[in-house]
Structure 1
Amino acid sequence: MEPTKVPSEGGLNVTLTIRLLMHGKEVGSIIGKKGETVKKMREESGARINISEGNCPERIVTITGPTDTIFKAFAMIAYKFEEDIINSMSNSQATSKPPVTLRLVVPASQCGSLIGKGGSKIKEMRESTGAQVQVAGDMLPNSTERAVTISGTPEAIIQCVKQICVVMLESPPKGATIPYRPKPASTPVIFSGGQAYTIQGQYAIPHPDQLTKLHQLAMQQTPFTPLGQTTPAFPGLDASPPASTHELTIPNDLIGCIIGRQGTKINEIRQMSGAQIKIANAMEGSSERQITITGTPANISLAQYLINARFRDVAAMWNDPSSMTTS
């Protein structure tokens, strides 16, 4: 989207749109329980924050507003990601803290200005902010945009974003920009009770090549793809779409890892997603159970993501039996 310049007293009050590319887990962190985190970010920064549809492993987060509101929103996101890193380190053996990383999506026609002649501008940004900045060599699929990756401390990232905004305002995009739209998730693989399954339609089908898929499964961050959904369910999270219902059919021996001991896991998923989740009783002679998820498209997407994340956790535990006692 092209920046628009609005004249105001004493100079220019500039409105800008910055697009970020995030994984499902990062988006979940930004949304927070029942959307509380993103609501707080919108209110405190004054920026508009929209999140693209939920059935993709990658999502686009669009931040729009006067430049000072954009900087506040970026600061809140960077500090939230740092908090997530600190929390994940307390559960692992890692000793050195990895940097916070954000991926911007920038029209390719503006990337030359970000790099500068012979790389002079990007070098200056790295040296003056202390952040690592990388501009991808290739355009993102089916678009005229490139990913710009910024890594460092939250403070370094905020300074770097300020400099990038200045460059983008001084060098508007040339010609039409085809924005990058993440593709819907590929078929997920889930694992339970020593058996791998792929999701086909609304059924989990046993997967023949189990062990080779295990690593891919444990690393997977894809939510279930809602049935027959070819158009975005919702453009952002600003509107309050009507409640809808989504059904999944899952083999009986997979249900236990979703429900958890005395229902702890399913209650956690209900609370975090804000969706109503009903698990039908086992039918005599049937090896499958029906799960009905009701709520807004955002609630449903988050519930699906959390259910799939639960399968990932179980796969990881199967891969590392020493962690079995923690669940």
Structure 2
Amino acid sequence: MDSGVIEGGLNVTLTIRLLMHGKEVGSIIGKKGESVKKMREESGARINISEGNCPERIITLAGPTTAIFKAFSMIIEKLEEDISSSMSNSTATSKPPVTLRIVVPASQCGSLIGKGGCKIKEIRESTGAQVQVAGDMLPNSTERAITIAGTPLSIIECVKQICVVMLESPPKGVTIPYRPKPSGSPVIFAGGQAYAVQGQHAIPQPDLTKLHQLAMQQSPFPLAPSSQGFTAGMDASAQTGSHELTIPNDLIGCIIGRQGAKINEIRQMSGAQIKIANPVEGSSDRQVTITGSPASISLAEYLINARLSSEATGMAAN
């Protein structure tokens, strides 16, 4: 595609969302934010970086296409520089390609892949970049990650082509954007609010508060309004109890998740202890025991049920 198409026909306002590891983001922000400040000034694009205590961060580039691609090439150059400087200390002889993930609404992935994969094949062939569209949506969102690897020039060209496709076929329905989760910080519920504990600070978590309130409405336990709140597995003053659930064997996998990721997430969010009994011969069910304060039990139960119902309704979509 010649750059005239981009310059002329595509000069509209665009938003590109990049998903990066914390370490990469650190080098893009630079010392005291100098690097990202320079990118903003030189490109004229709005560059927004999601909050910092997550293993993954989202970098959002917004603005006219020319500004976005300028900012985008500066980010790629930075990543390329980091690879080169890490190479100088290593014995490896071949230089790894720059790899980048962009996040797009799942409803646009079909147009991007094309009938029988023809569109994505065309993009791969014309740009020389490797492009992979994730089969699964990112957790708690309707977005998918697209991984692009190659030389800086091939990646920039590839993202331009992806943007053309996305502008031609806008997303359908509501898009739930992916928000990276903080890395395992304890959660406290107090006064009907959920807070994540980070260092010395408790940061309000609106998403968790919503979940917590939903769990409270569905709670089989009479809960006294509490001023001290329920602390995730740490507050001995909140009376602990236990609750048992029976879950069919063929659904237990969706609760446990890959290498236990889902069950750990449920434990983390609810603060409850969750034990899954070993399969019993002749039984098609598994016993799940949830232990903790009434609030954490009901939240864990709510999260397990939500997981089960999404599995049941979303077999195809999951």
TM-score (norm 2): 0.57
Does the Cα contact within 8 Å between 2:10 and 2:65 map onto a contact in 1? no
Indicate the residue corresponding to 2:51 in structure 1. 53
2:173 is the alignment partner of 1:182: no
Name the SS for the 2:147 alignment partner.
strand
Q: What residue identity is the alignment partner of 1:125?
A: I
1:68 to 66, 85, 94: 66
Deviations 1:206-265 (A, max 9, x none): xxxxxxxxxxxxxxxxxx766322349xxxxxxxxxxxxxxxxxxxxxxxxxxxxxxxxx
Does the Cα contact within 8 Å between 1:23 and 1:57 map onto a contact in 2? yes
Indicate the residue corresponding to 1:153 in structure 2. 151
Give the deviation of 1:68 after TM superposition.
1.1
Indicate the residue corresponding to 1:287 in structure 2. none
Distance 1:68 1:124 in 2: 23
Name the SS for the 1:54 alignment partner.
coil
Deviations 1:282-308 (A, max 9, x none): xxxxxxxxxxxxxxxxxxxxxxxxxxx
Deviations 1:5-48 (A, max 9, x none): xxxxx866410111010110011011001101001111111110
Q: What residue identity is the alignment partner of 1:129?
A: T
RMSD value over aligned CA atoms? 2.0
Which has the bigger relative contact order, CA under 8 A and spacing at least 6? Answer: 1
Cα distance change of structure 1 residues 118 and 86 upon mapping to structure 2, 3 Å threshold: same
| Structure 2: runs of 5+ lacking an equivalent | 1-7, 189-197, 207-318
Does the Cα contact within 8 Å between 1:184 and 1:225 map onto a contact in 2? no
Indicate the residue corresponding to 2:17 in structure 1. 19
Q: What residue identity is the alignment partner of 1:140?
A: L
Does the Cα contact within 8 Å between 1:139 and 1:147 map onto a contact in 2? yes
Indicate the residue corresponding to 2:203 in structure 1. 229
Distance 1:100 1:136 in 2: 18
Give the deviation of 1:132 after TM superposition.
0.3
Name the SS for the 2:71 alignment partner.
helix
Structure whose alpha-carbon radius of gyration is higher? 2
Distance 2:136 2:9 in 1: 37
Indicate the residue corresponding to 1:35 in structure 2. 33
Q: How many residues align?
A: 190
Q: What residue identity is the alignment partner of 1:164?
A: I
Report % sequence identity. Answer: 81
2:124 to 123, 126, 136: 126
Name the SS for the 2:48 alignment partner.
strand
Deviations 1:80-121 (A, max 9, x none): 100000000111111110000110000000001110110001
Q: What residue identity is the alignment partner of 1:110?
A: Q
Distance 2:116 2:45 in 1: 34
Give the deviation of 1:186 after TM superposition.
1.8
Name the SS for the 2:108 alignment partner.
helix
Q: What residue identity is the alignment partner of 1:163?
A: Q
1:82 to 69, 80, 87: 80
Distance 1:151 1:112 in 2: 20
Does the Cα contact within 8 Å between 1:55 and 1:226 map onto a contact in 2? no
2:165 is the alignment partner of 1:167: yes
Q: What residue identity is the alignment partner of 1:82?
A: E
Does the Cα contact within 8 Å between 1:45 and 1:69 map onto a contact in 2? yes
Distance 1:161 1:136 in 2: 16
Distance 2:173 2:164 in 1: 20
Distance 2:93 2:111 in 1: 38
**Equivalences for residues 96-111 of structure 1 within 5 A:** 96-111=94-109
Indicate the residue corresponding to 2:110 in structure 1. 112
Cα distance change of structure 1 residues 12 and 150 upon mapping to structure 2, 3 Å threshold: closer
Cα distance change of structure 1 residues 46 and 140 upon mapping to structure 2, 3 Å threshold: same
